[in-house]
């Protein structure tokens, strides 16, 4: 039987576009990161309402995750899938729509965040119309992937593609699951989920954004580009199967480790911890397969900047996936959570793993896609060293800052007093480390600029006909023949049981599965569903998980408007609203937070970082006038404060025009506002604002603030944590200090 040959050309235009976008957004996203690192501890730089840490930080995270890493994922999927499946991009029109649609979402997202339009959930801040746009573009991407798989000329799909498929599925599920919200205007909406349930959904999403945007697609890339660049075979096919399925199954459970000792039920956090521990070995499976693939190529590492980036990138993946499970252990997390340690950990992954893998691939692929050679391998080597030093400075400074602050928060005097009762004492201690981090980040950005120069010069040296792709001839896939069950090809000489079981699973079952893409996809969906359902369903179905508290009432209309200012300014990025059940926290803040207190919170605002103190028991702690002065100039009430000043909130008029729509949307989400509540909302706003403004005047503050945003914000802050009765505990031993 003669084999029929197909002739076609690869589409390298689409990958070229996405790779260039990757380079652009890498520099843009890292520049925003350096800016955020400076805005965070240098209040004087926060000079305009739109130029504050709270606005810039979400733009930074969205830019590096979804713009830089997102474009790299699309670039490598289009580039490597065509080659691994021996097909051309199915639809150039869809690919073009995918490319420009994604860039448009990024730019629209950046500007909407800059102007304060946000859903106030970390890494899911984009407003609801953009959430829908993401789904549309994602479907275009998926359609192209699916059609290419359908038209493939290779019987088996290779490991890289398993990872791409799982990533596509998981991101679709997570994005839609977490982004459901009730709109109240063209750009505004409230999360559908309340309080503790919203927290679970958010970190199910948040942790798996790390898993399925920053991990599995990059492992897919590693499986294609690392053996290509090193010209070595993959170390272990069996290991690739094992760690792929275990990652997909286990990762999805781990989210609740972001919520240890919060008002999330302890059983869910326990599952999060245990599955995080089980995640360690499968993650290291990826590292082992990457590093062991380089056996026999170590001499090349010395000379080749591409392999240097790969080696450090894969090693950092191993470092971060050891640190992650460790930080998921409850007792470690009790120290590390809300501190800079978490920030250091995330950047070990993003700078060390994602960015270094990206740099490796870019230095390897750009000359090939433009049919030329890299302009300066020497400059690339410089980039490697500058980047590595920047990375180490970043990491070490954040370790030191995080552990220092965590220990200071919990330090007690032997007489039972907190050693550092003023939160600010624990902040000023960290400022030198913030300078080191700023320096490290700047070096890392400097490295990325070297990349831009090298890419620019390389592309300039491309031949005029670089865009003309050669014809490829491959045999057409004959289904009957190729689809026969797989067989072990070489005699099995290793006879121990363990090896034979692995062999039977990989060569028998899995090898066959690799030809049945639909079945593989279904199995991946099942693997992703188990952990999701086991955690989410009981949380929503079993009332005992969120014990109701009768005294907890919905916010008043003015407080709701104040909360929207809190969301808009990104207060949750530096302040938690979650007092953990630790003596060190109940001493400092007050009664620990209960799930029942957050049932009307859409979205939840528990936060993940305490650059400033926890705010859940803030209500009633300070007089209204204290808040006025504090917002105008935080250092006037707290010497040494690094908080962003918000003087414009004292001047800007309060916009109450959407209050009825906002309350209506919250009612749909489950907050029991009555018709009367909504009808009387405008009047209530005026009344409560007038009372607070009068109180401020009485406390010798500025007059006539009743129409300004500040009164709404104060109304909200004074309400925080006051729906339950709690008192500062009185300790007999200490009272003995007194005279009576």
Partner 1 sequence: MADTKDRMLDHDADGIREYDNAAPGWLMWMLYGAMIFSVVYVAWYALSFGDDDYGVELSGDQVVEKAKVQKYMADHPIPTPSAEALLAGAVDPAVLEGAAARFAKTCSPCHGQNAQGLIGPNLTDDRWLWGGKTTDIFSTIVKGVPAKGMPPWGRALKPDEIASLVSYIRSLQGSNPAGAKPPEGNPAVPEPLPGGKM
Q: Which of residues 442-501 bind partner 1 (CB under 8 A)?
A: 489-490, 493-494, 496, 498-499
To partner 1, the closest distance from the beta carbon of 62 in angstroms equals: 33
Restricted to residues 498-527, the positions that interact with partner 1 (CB under 8 A) are 498-499, 502-503
- Asked if 6 is part of the footprint of partner 1 (rule: CB under 8 A), the reply reads no
Report in angstroms how near the CB of residue 290 gets to partner 1 at its nearest. 13
CA torsion through residues 490, 494, 500, 505, sign: negative
Cβ closest to partner 1, residue 260 vs residue 383: 260
- Per CB under 8 A, the list member of 50, 100, 267, 385 interacting with partner 1 is 267
Distance separating alpha carbons of residues 273 and 296, to the nearest angstrom: 38
Least distance from partner 1 to the Cβ atom of residue 484, Å = 14
Distance CA 422, CA 10 (A): 63
Q: Does 733 bind partner 1 (CB under 8 A)?
A: yes
Least distance from partner 1 to the Cβ atom of residue 85, Å: 9
Q: How far is the CB of 738 from partner 1 (least distance, A)?
A: 4
Stretch that binds partner 1, among 44-52, 396-404, 524-532, 615-623 (CB under 8 A): 615-623
Going from the C-alpha of 724 to that of each of 156, 595, 617, the distances in angstroms are 61, 12, 10
Judged by CB under 8 A, which stretch of 65-73, 192-200, 395-403, 726-734 contacts partner 1?
Answer: 726-734
Whole-angstrom Cα distance, residue 730 to residue 722?
Answer: 19
Nearer to partner 1, 263 or 565 (CB): 263
Instruction: Determine, following the binding rule CB under 8 A, whether residue 78 of this chain makes contact with partner 1.
Output: no
Q: Which of the stretches 112-120, 277-285, 528-536, 659-667 binds partner 1 when contact is defined by CB under 8 A?
A: 277-285
In 3D, which of 227, 471, 461 has the Cα closest to residue 367? 461
Q: Tokens representing 610?
A: 């305490």
Compare residues 416 and 463 and give the one whose CB is closer to partner 1.
416
Alpha-carbon distance of 30 to 351, in angstroms, equals 10
* CB closer to partner 1 out of 261 and 434: 261
Query: Do 284 and 318 form a contact (C-beta atoms < 8 A)?
Result: yes
Q: Which is nearer to partner 1, 120 or 418 (CB)?
A: 418
Closest CA to 209 of 252, 165, 241: 252
Output the smallest distance, CB 179 to partner 1, in A: 30
Cis-peptide into 262, omega within 30 deg: no
CB of 227 to partner 1, least distance (A): 5
Among 91, 270, 429, 635, binds partner 1 (CB under 8 A): 270
| Position among 576, 625, 641, 688 found at the interface with partner 1 (CB under 8 A) | 625
HSE, CB side, 13 Å, CA atoms: give it for residue 425. 10
One of 93, 421, 432, 647 touching partner 1 (CB under 8 A): 421
Specify the residue, 160 or 361, whose C-beta has the smaller distance to partner 1: 160
- Three-class secondary structure assignment of 3-16: CCEEEEECCCHHHH
Site residues (CB under 8 A) for partner 1, limited to 565-594: 580-583, 586-587, 592
Q: Is 3 in the site for partner 1 (CB under 8 A)?
A: no
Are 137 and 102 in contact by the 8 Å Cβ rule? The answer is yes
For 272-286, the DSSP string reads HHHHHHHHHHHHHHH
DSSP helix/strand/coil, 609: strand
658, 184 Cβ separation under 8 angstroms: yes
**What tokens does 40 get?**
């965070």
Identify the helix (H) or strand (E) that includes residue 55: helix 53-62
Report the residue number, 653 or 732, with the smaller CB distance to partner 1: 732
One residue of 97, 123, 284, 466 binding partner 1 per CB under 8 A: 284
Binding residues among 651-710 for partner 1 as defined by CB under 8 A = 699-700
Minimal distance, residue 317 CB to partner 1, in Å: 14
Q: For partner 1, give the closer residue by CB, 24 or 626.
A: 626
**Does 416 contact partner 1 by CB under 8 A?**
yes
According to CB under 8 A, which residues from 142 to 161 bind partner 1? 154, 156, 158-160
Beta carbon nearer to partner 1, 7 or 331: 331
**Residue among 473 and 700 whose Cβ is closer to partner 1:** 700
Binding range to partner 1, per CB under 8 A, among 51-59, 185-193, 617-625, 672-680: 617-625
CB 109 within 8 A of CB 70: no
CB of 15 to partner 1, least distance (A): 14
- Structure letter (DSSP) for residue 643: P
CB of 287 to partner 1, least distance (A): 10
Encode 254-265: b = buried (16+ Cβ within 10 Å), e = exposed.
Answer: bbbbbbbbbbbb
Q: For partner 1, which residue of 97, 326, 626, 724 counts as binding (CB under 8 A)? A: 626
Buried b (16+ CB within 10 A) or exposed e, 380-402: bbbbbebbbebbebbbebbbbbb
Least distance CB 623 / partner 1 (angstroms): 4
8 binds partner 1 (CB under 8 A): no
Measured from the Cβ of residue 365, the count of other Cβ atoms closer than 10 Å reads: 22
For the segment 206-245, give every residue that binds partner 1 (CB under 8 A).
Answer: 223-224, 227-228, 233-240, 242-243
Give whichever of 4 and 737 is closer to partner 1, judged by the CB atom: 737
| Cα separation, 659 vs 363, whole angstroms | 53
> Which residues from 160-189 bind partner 1, rule CB under 8 A?
160
In whole angstroms, how close is the CB of 535 to partner 1 at the nearest point?
15
Closest CA to 167 of 208, 226, 121: 208
- Report residue 470: phi and psi, to 5°: -70, 160
> Quick one: DSSP state of residue 182?
E
Binding segment (CB under 8 A) for partner 1, from list 117-125, 212-220, 264-272, 304-312? 264-272
Helix (H, G, I), strand (E, B) or coil at 297: coil
Stretch that binds partner 1, among 384-392, 430-438, 522-530, 633-641 (CB under 8 A): 633-641
Distance CA 453, CA 363 (A): 12
Q: Is 664 exposed, middle or buried (0-12, 13-18, 19+ CB in 10 A)?
A: middle
Q: Does 274 bind partner 1 (CB under 8 A)?
A: yes
Determine which helix (DSSP H) or strand (DSSP E) holds 473, and give its type and residue range. Answer: strand 471-475
How many residues contact partner 1, by CB under 8 A? Answer: 87
Q: What are phi and psi of 143, to 5 degrees?
A: -65, -40
Phi-psi bin for 296: left (phi > 0), alpha (psi -120 to 50), beta?
left
Q: State in angstroms the smallest separation of the CB of 496 from partner 1.
A: 6
Considering the rule CB under 8 A, would residue 335 count as an interface residue with partner 1? no
533 binds partner 1 (CB under 8 A): no
Residues in region 350-409 near partner 1 by CB under 8 A: none
Look up residue 132 and give its two tokens: 């829908």
What phi and psi values does residue 653 have, to the nearest 5 degrees?
Answer: -70, 140
**x/- track of binding to partner 1 for residues 83-122 (CB under 8 A):** xx-x------------------------------------
Q: Which is nearer to partner 1, 568 or 580 (CB)?
A: 580
Q: How far is the CB of 339 from partner 1 (least distance, A)?
A: 20
Which residue, 636, 688, 649, 637, is CA-closest to 566? 649
């Amino acid at each position: 039987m003669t084999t029929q040959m197909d002739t076609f050309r690869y589409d390298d235009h689409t990958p070229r576009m996405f790779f260039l976008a990757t380079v652009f957004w890498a520099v843009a996203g890292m520049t925003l990161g350096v800016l955020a690192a400076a805005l965070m501890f240098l209040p004087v730089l926060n000079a305009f309402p739109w130029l504050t840490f709270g606005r810039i930080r979400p733009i930074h995270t969205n830019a590096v995750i979804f713009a830089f890493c997102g474009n790299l994922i699309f670039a490598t999927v289009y580039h490597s899938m065509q080659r691994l499946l021996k097909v051309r991009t199915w639809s150039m029109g869809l690919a073009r729509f995918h490319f420009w649609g994604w860039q448009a979402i990024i730019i629209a997202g950046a500007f909407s965040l800059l102007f304060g339009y946000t859903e106030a959930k970390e890494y899911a801040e984009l407003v609801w119309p953009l959430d829908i746009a993401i789904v549309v573009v994602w479907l275009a991407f998926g359609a192209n992937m699916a059609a290419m798989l359908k038209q493939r000329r290779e019987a088996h799909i290779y490991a890289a593609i398993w990872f791409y498929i799982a990533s596509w599925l998981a991101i679709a599920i997570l994005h839609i699951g977490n982004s459901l919200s009730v709109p109240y205007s063209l750009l505004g909406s409230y999360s559908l989920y309340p309080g503790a349930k919203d927290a679970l959904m958010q970190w199910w999403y948040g942790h798996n954004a790390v898993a399925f945007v920053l991990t599995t697609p990059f492992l897919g890339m590693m499986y294609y580009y690392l053996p290509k660049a090193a010209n070595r075979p993959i170390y272990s096919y069996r290991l690739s199967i094992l760690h792929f399925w275990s990652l997909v199954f286990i990762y999805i459970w781990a989210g609740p480790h972001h919520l240890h000792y919060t008002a999330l039920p302890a059983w869910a956090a326990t599952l999060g911890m245990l599955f995080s521990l089980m995640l360690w070995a499968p993650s290291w499976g990826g590292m082992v397969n990457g590093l062991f693939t380089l056996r026999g190529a170590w001499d090349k590492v010395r000379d080749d900047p591409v392999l240097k980036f790969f080696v450090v990138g894969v090693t950092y993946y191993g470092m971060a996936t050891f640190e992650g499970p460790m930080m998921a252990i409850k007792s470690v997390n009790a120290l590390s959570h809300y501190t800079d340690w978490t920030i250091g950990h995330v950047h070990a992954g993003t700078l060390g793993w994602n960015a270094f893998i990206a740099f490796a691939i870019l230095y390897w692929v750009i000359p090939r896609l433009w049919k030329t050679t890299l302009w300066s391998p020497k400059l690339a080597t410089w980039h490697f060293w500058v980047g590595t030093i920047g990375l180490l400075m970043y990491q070490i400074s954040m370790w030191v800052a995080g552990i220092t602050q965590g220990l200071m928060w919990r330090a007690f005097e032997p007489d039972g007093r907190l050693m550092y009762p003023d939160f600010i004492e624990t902040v000023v201690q960290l400022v030198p480390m913030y300078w080191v981090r700023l320096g490290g980040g700047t070096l890392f950005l400097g490295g990325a600029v070297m990349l831009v120069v090298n890419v620019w010069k390389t592309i300039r040296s491309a031949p005029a006909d670089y865009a003309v792709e050669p014809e490829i001839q491959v045999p057409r896939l004959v289904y009957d023949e190729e689809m026969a069950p797989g067989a072990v090809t070489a005699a099995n000489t290793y006879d121990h049981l363990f090896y034979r079981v692995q062999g039977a699973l990989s060569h028998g079952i899995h090898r066959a599965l690799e030809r049945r893409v639909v079945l593989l996809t279904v199995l991946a969906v099942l693997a992703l569903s188990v952990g999701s359902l086991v955690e989410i369903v009981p949380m929503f179905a079993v009332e005992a998980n969120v014990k109701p508290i009768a005294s907890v009432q919905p916010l008043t209309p003015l407080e709701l408007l104040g909360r929207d200012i809190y969301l808009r300014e990104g207060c949750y990025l530096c302040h938690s609203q979650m007092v953990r059940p630790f003596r060190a926290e109940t001493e400092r803040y007050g009664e620990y937070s209960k799930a029942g207190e957050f049932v009307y919170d859409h979205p939840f605002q528990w936060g993940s970082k305490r650059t400033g103190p926890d705010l859940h028991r803030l209500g009633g702690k300070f007089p209204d006038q204290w808040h006025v002065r504090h917002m105008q100039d935080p250092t006037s009430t707290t010497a040494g404060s690094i908080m962003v000043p918000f003087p414009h909130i004292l001047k800007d008029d309060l916009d109450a025009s959407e209050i009825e729509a906002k309350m209506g949307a919250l009612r749909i989400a489950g907050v029991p506002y009555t018709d009367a509540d909504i009808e009387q909302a405008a009047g209530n706003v005026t009344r409560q604002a007038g009372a607070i403004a009068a109180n401020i005047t009485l406390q010798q503050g500025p007059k006539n603030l009743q129409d300004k945003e500040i009164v709404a914000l104060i109304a909200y802050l004074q309400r925080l944590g006051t729906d339950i009765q709690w008192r500062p505990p009185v300790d007999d031993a200490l009272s003995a200090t007194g005279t009576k």
